[in-house]
A and B are shown apart, each in its own frame.
Chain A
């Protein structure tokens, strides 16, 4: 080996060494978001964040995105809509994040949508409901299985009608989210020719539901659609159990928020039997896709440490799926260009642990995968029973169905 060759090899080694140093020093890809970690939405916010963190750890273990590590920049928005505009401005202007995820929930998300639209940025939504309805941002992709706005009511009322239900009672909390659902329930009932014989919006400060349930009972409905919030859901079910809703009721439930969370389900125990309610993921055979089982194994271990919902069915896998969609878009376009990523997300179907996801023009899922499931054989004070299949039998949609509705409601409760 002559001196010239030695110098040549040395130079090559130096260049290679420098380039590998440069690669190792590539800055991370920053994904910014606010997340409710205190306040009313904290339960869901913490579980959602854990799902996203598990994805971050998985992708970094595989070498990151575009050869760069993924870093999350997260602030607590205290479940408040007044906090999020300033936090997202900070994420963009001070932290200089590369991509944005929305906070969990409709209320904290609504005020940041105009901001991202104005700046022409991609925003991955996180379980909000119809926030893009008036803003019409074409780079908004809501990560929630709701689909069209009337999907919740359609699934429930169709089941009720098939079970022989001819009239409907509608009981809803007097606040925006529940009222939006109540409005669509009235529209769907009209389409299905189901007269509404009882329609009441109760104030959020209601503490005792016995009188309301007694009045509902007197209207003798066949279908009872309830759009309630967590403390009310428990109060309504207690009153239903004590006062009764009558033998003519075929199906009861629909949109009761809270009955998806481990603590509430454990507290309610056998009172849940027979109730048909919406959900987003359940441990039923039809709900497992590539990576779902592995995700829940990791989640179950980390949930104890993070003091979040020990089951995590409602929202956590969707946090992971949000990361998976971004991963697929970045890998396919080989860039972080927001318009390119949005185009990819809009035009393709994405494989995730919650199933394939395709977006409609308004940024919502093209097809609703909002489940309607019936609680069966639930015992008191037992959290682990909810990990077994058969405790929440999926009745709707048809492609994920794992059983038939047991009706009437009084029979299903036994």
Chain B
């Protein structure tokens, strides 16, 4: 089945889906892409943030996006503590820290999952907001408003983070620590503190991303497993540490998935992300916008 209308709808819905993928991956672009920390617990933090948003929405009727912004400072602290723990127990001890770090973050992910189950049970949770369940009509095209919200937030986050990293002193320091940690140390700056701060920002971003996650679909404690492959795929395809590359890679992934889901058969969709990743890496090993 093929029609121009169907293709148009698939592309529009794919761009929106891609922006959502960008929002949930952008924190990882900093922690894994820039800082080289094997943050495999990233999706678990994301789900944890969704439950925080759920709690505020359910108890106080606070809009999910506002709730996400409210919990962001808490997640910043959580990120700072997590990095410090990782640094003290693994990173400072030697060259195989990366491999052992993966085990550390897997452990963190499992602990988060179990804590969510103990506190909220295994049932799925969702939020209410005026824009969930409604669509914007343009002719015969219908666009879910919750996806438009995800689109706007993703664009906003990308612009904000890209500006912060390129225009502010701290942002430049974060980029510098990613390029030459030793050089930064010689300049009199403490790279561990900078990395700790950057990891805090990467985790704080998840507060807002978690809000988008629960706006898009209900969440349950093991949902992180669905996102682990997709988020890493986006970040690697983008080029490690590239914020604007993350948005572009996520949109390419979203549009490809949407076209496959609409026109070729839903079963093929999971293979798309990794096929794209392999294709991009074969042509540009450094990723789309990597250096």
A binds B: yes
Q: Contact at B223–A231, with CB atoms within 8 Å?
A: yes
Q: Contact at B128–A215, with CB atoms within 8 Å?
A: no
Q: Contact at B266–A214, with CB atoms within 8 Å?
A: no
User: Which stretch of A67-75, A199-207, A276-284, A322-330 is in the interface?
Assistant: A199-207
Cβ contacts under 8 Å, B262 to chain A: 211-212, 214-215
Interface mask (A286-310 → B, CB under 8 Å = 1, otherwise 0): 0000000000000000000001000
How far, in whole Å, are A234 and B214 apart by their CA atoms in the complex? 12
B6's partner among A215, A239, A267 (CB-CB below 8 A) is A215
How far, in whole Å, are A43 and B1 apart by their CA atoms in the complex? 40
Q: Contact at B258–A218, with CB atoms within 8 Å?
A: no
Question: How distant is B31 from chain A, measured CB to nearest CB, in Å?
Answer: 22
Q: Is B88 an interface residue (CB 8 A)?
A: no
Q: Contact at A207–B122, with CB atoms within 8 Å?
A: no
Cβ contacts under 8 Å, B147 to chain A: 208, 210
Question: How distant is A136 from chain B, measured CB to nearest CB, in Å?
Answer: 32
Q: Contact at A38–B1, with CB atoms within 8 Å?
A: no
B217's partner among A42, A174, A208, A258 (CB-CB below 8 A) is A208
Cβ contacts under 8 Å, A38 to chain B: 117, 122
Interface mask (A218-249 → B, CB under 8 Å = 1, otherwise 0): 11000000000011001100110111100000
Say yes or no: A267-B218 contact (C-beta < 8 A), given A174-B267, A201-B266, A214-B13: yes
Q: Which residue of B lies closest to A216 (CB)?
A: B262
Q: Is A29 an interface residue (CB 8 A)?
A: no
How far, in whole Å, are A212 and B5 apart by their CA atoms in the complex? 14
Q: Contact at A211–B13, with CB atoms within 8 Å?
A: yes
Cβ contacts under 8 Å, B128 to chain A: 380-381
How far, in whole Å, are A156 and B6 apart by their CA atoms in the complex? 29
Cβ contacts under 8 Å, A264 to chain B: 123-124, 218
How far, in whole Å, are A241 and B132 apart by their CA atoms in the complex? 10
Q: Which residue of A lies closest to B223 (CB)?
A: A231
B10's partner among A211, A231, A271 (CB-CB below 8 A) is A211
Q: Which residue of A lies closest to B150 (CB)?
A: A208
How far, in whole Å, are A230 and B263 apart by their CA atoms in the complex? 25
Q: Contact at B266–A212, with CB atoms within 8 Å?
A: yes
Interface size on A, residues (CB 8 A): 40
Q: Which residue of B lies closest to A219 (CB)?
A: B1
A234's partner among B1, B3, B117, B126 (CB-CB below 8 A) is B126
Say yes or no: A210-B144 contact (C-beta < 8 A), given A203-B270, A267-B218: yes
Cβ contacts under 8 Å, A212 to chain B: 261-262, 266
B261's partner among A215, A271, A380, A381 (CB-CB below 8 A) is A215
Question: How distant is B12 from chain A, measured CB to nearest CB, in Å?
Answer: 10
Cβ contacts under 8 Å, B17 to chain A: 208, 210-211
Cβ contacts under 8 Å, B1 to chain A: 215, 218-219
Say yes or no: A243-B123 contact (C-beta < 8 A), given A203-B269, A207-B216, A271-B133: no
Q: Which residue of B lies closest to A172 (CB)?
A: B266
With most chain B CB atoms within 10 A of its CB, the pick from A230, A235, A242 is: A242
B270's partner among A205, A238, A244 (CB-CB below 8 A) is A205
Question: How distant is B56 from chain A, measured CB to nearest CB, in Å?
Answer: 16
How far, in whole Å, are A208 and B14 apart by their CA atoms in the complex? 10
Question: How distant is B6 from chain A, measured CB to nearest CB, in Å?
Answer: 5
Q: Contact at B20–A208, with CB atoms within 8 Å?
A: yes
Cβ contacts under 8 Å, A120 to chain B: none
How far, in whole Å, are A286 and B10 apart by their CA atoms in the complex? 46
Interface mask (B259-280 → A, CB under 8 Å = 1, otherwise 0): 1011101110110000000000
Question: How distant is A412 from chain B, measured CB to nearest CB, in Å?
Answer: 17
How far, in whole Å, are A214 and B1 apart by their CA atoms in the complex? 12
Cβ contacts under 8 Å, A218 to chain B: 1, 3, 5-6
Cβ contacts under 8 Å, A244 to chain B: 135, 142
Q: Contact at A238–B132, with CB atoms within 8 Å?
A: yes
Q: Is A261 an interface residue (CB 8 A)?
A: yes
Question: How distant is A225 from chain B, measured CB to nearest CB, in Å?
Answer: 15
How far, in whole Å, are A42 and B120 apart by their CA atoms in the complex? 13
Q: Which residue of B lies closest to A212 (CB)?
A: B261
How far, in whole Å, are A368 and B81 apart by their CA atoms in the complex? 57
Q: Contact at B220–A231, with CB atoms within 8 Å?
A: yes
Cβ contacts under 8 Å, B266 to chain A: 174, 200-203, 206, 212
How far, in whole Å, are A243 and B141 apart by their CA atoms in the complex? 8
Within 8 A of A (CB), among B162-194: none
Cβ contacts under 8 Å, B6 to chain A: 214-215, 218
Cβ contacts under 8 Å, A219 to chain B: 1
Q: Which residue of A lies closest to B225 (CB)?
A: A205
Measuring CB to CB, which residues of chain A are less than 8 angstroms from any residue of chain B?
38-40, 42-43, 174, 200-203, 205-208, 210-212, 214-215, 218-219, 230-231, 234-235, 238-239, 241-244, 258, 261, 263-264, 267, 271, 307, 380-381
3 A-B pairs closest in CB distance: A202-B266, A242-B135, A242-B144
7 interchain pairs (CB within 8 A)?
A40-B222, A203-B270, A208-B17, A210-B13, A214-B13, A231-B217, A242-B146
Known: A241-B133, A263-B124. 4 other contacts (CB 8 A): A38-B117, A203-B270, A206-B266, A218-B5
